[in-house]
Amino acid sequence: MDMMACELNFQSDEKTEDLQIEGLKIIQNKKWFCFGMDAVLLSDFADIKKHSKVVDLGTGTGIIPLLLWAKRKPSIVYGIEIQKEVAEMAKRSILLNGLEESIKILNADMLRLDGVLEFNSFDAVVTNPPYIESNGGIVNPHGNKALSRHEISCCLEDVIKTAAKLLKQYGSFYMIHRPYRLVDIMALMRQYKLEPKKMRLIHPRKGEKPNMVLIKGVKLGNPELTVEPPLYIYDQATQYTEDIYKIYGLEKP
C-alpha cells in the first residue's frame, strides 16, 4: 500500500472519490474543475459497442474513460487532455485502478493529433467540451477551471472537426452540450460529415426549460434524426427521478 501511495504521489489538495461502479475510484483536485453529472449522462448515452476503439476529447480527470470502461468494455480508450497537470492526475487515476492497458491518457492538443493518433481508425469519439464561448461569460481566474469551461484552447468547431478526422466510416460521435448551441452543433456536424442521428434534451424538472443536450452523430451516415424522450433530473421536489437513479445504477429509495 505504501508503495502504491508513493507511485501515485497524492497532492495536498487532492481527494479520491469512489465511483460506485466496478470498484473504480478517481482522483480529483478540489481547486480544479471536478467532474459533474454531465460526464455520467454522456457515458450512459454513448451506446458504444464492446471492444471498440474510443477517443475522449478533453478528458479532464479521466472520468469518461473510466465510466466507459465500466459500462461498455471498449478495447482501448485514449483520453486527450491539453493541461499537463490535469493529464498527470488523470494518469494516476488510471494507475490507481490498474487500467493502464485499457485507458491511455495523452497530454496533447486535440488540434495537433496528426502523428499522435491514427486518423480514420476509431469506432467512437466522445466529448464533454467547454460550453462557454470565448467571448461569453466571466472567465474564472484559475486557469484549469477556465480551460475546462470556456472555449480558450479549442472551440466547438475544433472539437467536431477533430472528431471527424479520428472516426472511421460509420464511426459514432457523442457529445453533451448546451441547447442554446444546438443550431451551431448540428450545422457543424453536417459540415464535417457527422450526420446527427440521436438527440436527448435534459431538463432540471418537468415544466422547466432544458439546460443540457446529448447528441450522437455518425460519420457519413444517412440523414435520420431520432429525438428521444426528455430526461428529467429531479422530481417536483429535490429528489432524483427514477431515470437518474437507473443511470447511476442505483435503486430509488
Alpha helix stretches (DSSP H) within 28-180 = 37-45, 63-72, 84-96, 143-149, 156-166
Residue 36 is part of a domain; what is its CATH number? Answer: 3.40.50.150
**CB neighbours of residue 41 within 10 Å:** 21
Within-domain flag for 253:
no
Within-domain flag for 138:
yes
Within-domain flag for 218:
yes
Within-domain flag for 23:
yes
Q: What is the pTM of this model?
A: 0.89
pLDDT in 10s for each residue of the chain, 253 residues: 333 443 566 677 788 999 989 999 999 887 776 778 999 999 999 999 999 999 999 999 999 999 999 999 999 999 999 999 999 999 999 999 999 999 999 999 999 999 999 999 999 999 999 876 654 444 444 444 444 443 456 799 999 999 999 999 999 999 999 999 999 999 999 999 999 999 999 999 999 999 999 999 999 999 999 999 999 999 988 899 999 999 998 887 7
Grid cell 464535417 in the structure block, residue: 192
Residue 228 carries which DSSP code?
Answer: P
**CB neighbours of residue 53 within 10 Å:** 19
**CB neighbours of residue 139 within 10 Å:** 15
Range of the domain at 52: 2-247
Number of domains in the chain: 1
Within-domain flag for 161:
yes
Within-domain flag for 252:
no
